[in-house]
Amino acid sequence: MVTPVGTGKDMFWDSLVNGKSGIVPIARFDASQLATRIAGEVRDFDPLNYIDKKEARRMDRYTQFACAGTRIALEDANLEPESVNPERAGIIIGSGVGGIETVENQARVLIEKGPNRISPFFVPMMIANIAAAQIAIAHGFKGPNFTTVTACASSSNSIGEAYKLIRDGEMDVMVTGGSEAPIIPLAMAGFCSMKAMSTRNEEPEKASRPFDIERDGFIMGEGSGILILESLEHALARGAHIYAEVSGYGVTCDAYHITASDPEGEGAAKAMEIAIKHAGLKPADIDYINAHGTSTPVGDISETRAVKKLFGDYAGSVAISSTKSMTGHLLGAAGGIETIICALAIERGQIPPTINYENPDPDCDLNFTPNKSICREVRAAISNSFGFGGHNATVVLTKHER
């Protein structure tokens, strides 16, 4: 992972379990005219540590994040691409807005300098599928290669679709997850105009406060979360370190509104229900929920109601946290890093907190793991992602019994 709280799993995880916020004043551009002037920026990233200089110049920042995350993931998996049957290895990378920074930059060139100054790399830098394509080119994987674009559910959908290809015996290995680089003037201004983001500019680290009654909107984040999925047979044959098993996937649509989630959480509850059933589990078997929990007034209540709807009397017992309180909302990459969080929670027996949970909202009255991580065995966890347009995706991870 490449995130606002660290690059690589150890720095990332240490930040999370210690409640460290990655929300800072925006430094990538002059944000003084925006209502929201803070974000979850990636500050420790040098693309040249992962990508050839010439190639990096021909990539949008979101593609750089994806390619870097893939190299980190392959190294962590001790997986040499040359050891894999390339026709049975594929790539699915989710992104909500793809190369939007390239679009903004080249639009400025068009206006200021005219059409003859547009870069010949404009189109292949900005299209949303190019991160997956660049990863394939770099590593030679020739299986299915595509991009899921379902707003904030994008990378959860990518993980779910990758899981299905392996489950159905079509692939041995899938590189999957998501990448996003939306901290640019255009995207920030757009979300500001919707009044969707927090304006707690004087206290950046306290701005993202999911389920707290004083929450006033989400905080934009950037980065990537990339996973290596393998069939169990393939992983065991090469002695892979297995963090967890992907056991279920549920996907639904609210069919309700272009931006607002169903206030009763019906679609979200159904996505969780489908995923848990696919995993052969019951709601009471789930030990941890990594909530979508964006810190928006309506969305957090909707998700709380969804959990109550499905989990019933057990809803108050399951441990829940929104790690967006620390990372901000990585839009289409959120499900990638949050599925990784579930895997690490299972492996390490620790649940990261929801920080800034100081004044509970009476409408959000579940166990949100307030402010401090807890040590607890996690045998089954779910990651929720809900996107504009009513897209709902849930991924279930379970402990691998060695």
Residues noted as catalytic:
152, 292, 329
DSSP-derived secondary structure letter, 58: T
Strands 145-146 and 89-94, by their bridges, are parallel
The DSSP bridge partners found for residue 226 are 177
Angle between helices 334-348 and 9-17 (to 10 degrees): 80
Question: Which phi and psi (to 5°) does residue 19 adopt?
Answer: 70, 30
The Cβ-side half-sphere exposure at 385, using a 13 Å CA radius, reads 38
* Spatial separation of the C-alpha atoms in residues 100 and 151, rounded to whole Å: 13
C-alpha 61/C-alpha 225 separation (Å) is: 14
Helix or strand holding residue 246 (H, E): strand 245-253
- Give burial (CB, 10 Å; 0-12/13-18/19+) of 285: middle
**Closest residue by Cα to residue 395 from 355, 357, 346:** 346
- Residue 33, class by beta-carbon neighbours within 10 Å (0-12 exposed, 13-18 middle, 19+ buried)? exposed
* Residue 281: other Cβ atoms inside 10 A: 18
